[in-house]
């Protein structure tokens, strides 16, 4: 007599995998067979050879799963996917946020310096592309940075989900 029928679960699983090659479905068939064995034991009529009985029931459960609607997969029409899925919208970069906040607040010379700062790989090259001395370019970037901090602070304070607008201004 079997003390714990759960020790026979690997036997049921192996029997089901001979019929079904899908691991998930084989586990389901093995668990269904083990459930039937447990019910038979609780009713007082356990099988004489529980391992052999479990193998047969697991194979039959696997066949029943293959015939049932539960095991079938349905194909989705590729044309329906874009209709059901929202379009991907990439997040705006931080430079785009700064440019948006600074729009209309910079002089044409500062706008040219900002564009050079984003596109050149060194301060000297950016200053040269604007026709400025590096020292003047750095001063211009300092003024742009100050305006950007103020504009971004105003932008984030207007956000209704910001923590506490009064504390955002006192941090810098």
- Report domain extents, the chain: 5-71, 94-159
d(CA 49, CA 38): 14
Whether the predicted pLDDT of 56 surpasses 60: yes
Residue reference for tokens 């705006």 = 92
d(CA 165, CA 154): 9
For the record, the structure tokens of 130 come out as: 């604007």
**Closest by alpha carbon to 151, among 114, 118, 105, 119?**
105
Q: Does pLDDT of 171 surpass 50?
A: no
What is the C-alpha to C-alpha distance for residues 128 and 24, in angstroms, rounded to an integer? Answer: 65
Among residues of the chain, what percentage have pLDDT more than 90?
Answer: 31
> Can you tell me the distance from the alpha carbon of 157 to that of 33, in angstroms, rounded to the nearest whole number?
62
Question: Could you read off the pLDDT of 81-138 as tens digits, one per residue?
Answer: 677 777 777 776 777 777 777 878 888 888 888 888 888 888 899 999 989 999 999 9
The per-residue pLDDT for 74 is 65
State the average pLDDT for the chain: 82
Q: What is the pLDDT of residue 172?
A: 42
In the predicted structure, residue 29 carries a pLDDT above the cut 90? yes
Max Cα distance, the chain (Å) = 97
Least confident of 20-29, 32-41, 147-156: 147-156
Confidence of residue 52 (pLDDT cuts 50, 70, 90): very high
**What is the Cα–Cα distance from 96 to 42, expressed in whole angstroms?**
69
Its pTM surpasses 0.75: no
8 A C-beta contact, residue 2 and residue 49? no
Per residue in 69-93, pLDDT (tens digit) is 766 666 667 777 677 777 777 776 7
Q: CATH assignment of 94-159?
A: 1.10.10
């Amino acid at each position: 007599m079997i003390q714990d029928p759960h020790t026979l679960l690997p036997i049921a699983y192996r029997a089901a995998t001979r019929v079904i090659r899908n691991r998930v479905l084989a586990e389901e068939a093995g668990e269904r067979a083990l459930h039937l064995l447990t019910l038979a034991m609780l009713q007082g009529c356990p099988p004489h050879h529980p391992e052999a009985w479990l193998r047969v029931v697991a194979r039959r459960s696997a066949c029943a799963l293959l015939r049932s609607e539960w095991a079938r997969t349905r194909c989705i029409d590729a044309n329906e996917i874009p209709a059901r899925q929202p379009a991907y919208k990439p997040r705006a970069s931080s430079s785009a946020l700064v440019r948006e906040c600074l729009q209309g607040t910079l002089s044409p010379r500062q706008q040219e310096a900002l564009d050079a700062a984003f596109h050149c790989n060194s301060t000297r090259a950016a200053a040269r592309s604007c026709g400025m001395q590096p020292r003047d370019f750095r001063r211009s970037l300092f003024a742009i940075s100050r305006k950007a901090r103020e504009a971004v602070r105003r932008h984030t304070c207007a956000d209704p989900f910001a923590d506490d607008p009064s504390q955002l201004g006192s941090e810098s």
